[in-house]
Structure 1
Amino acid sequence: VALRHRPGLTSWLALGPGLGAALLPSLVSVLASGEPQPWRRLALGLVALGVVLGGAVRRWQAPVVLGAATLVPLALHELARGWDLLPRWIFLGLGGVLLITLAATYERRRRDLARLRTLVTNLT
């Protein structure tokens, strides 16, 4: 409500502390705990994804950045948990395909990154 009625208020001031308080404790719990916590990991991923999508729709920078900053470590944590479940050659093959794809579309990716940087800096 405050973001609609106060034009000088940024999403960082209005939403940043609340999103940090909502996402950070669960992320630390998932990353630091030795327990599996499957429901917490699933809920945190879904909430963070919803925050990113909601922030992108509303064009707010804080939810996009904080949600993505939660999703990336969570995804890496999930990848690390599943590392021993798959044969080693699958990761080498996926890495090779990824490198070939990135090399084939390098210039387009550079333009996309420049456009993404502009879009994120233009969010309120």
Structure 2
Amino acid sequence: MQSPWLLWLTVYDQYELIATEYAAMFPDDFEARPFDQHFVASFAELVLRSGGERALDAGCGPGQATAALARCGLSAEGVDGSPAMVAIARDRYPHLSFRVADMRELPHPAASFAAVSAWYSIIHTPVDVLPSLFEE
């Protein structure tokens, strides 16, 4: 049986190879997607109501969800395991912070953020790995 961690490396490698095409297929079009727009706005409102402000977008890809969180008033930062995705995010949204990092080993101390968003970024995660991922 293949290790789930090896699967993660394969997923990151695959996104590294298709980053440009992926970013073109999924542009920053939250305004054209009312459900997504309202979902992100509701998430941001809950964070702000709780007195929080900082949010991490784990698995940020080309940064569109990070930017949407920032437009909703959060101090948002993105991390992704693909350097190519992070480069695209930095190019698209130079006013936001993006880092290359594995979401299983975040480069931040515990409780650095009021909230964490994982916008479509856990779809490749085996179910048995989710508890440890969420703990991180």
Pick the structure with more strand per residue.
2
Pick the structure with more helix per residue.
1
Greater C-alpha Rg: 1
- Using structure 2 for the length normalisation, give the TM-score: 0.27
- Using structure 1 for the length normalisation, give the TM-score: 0.29
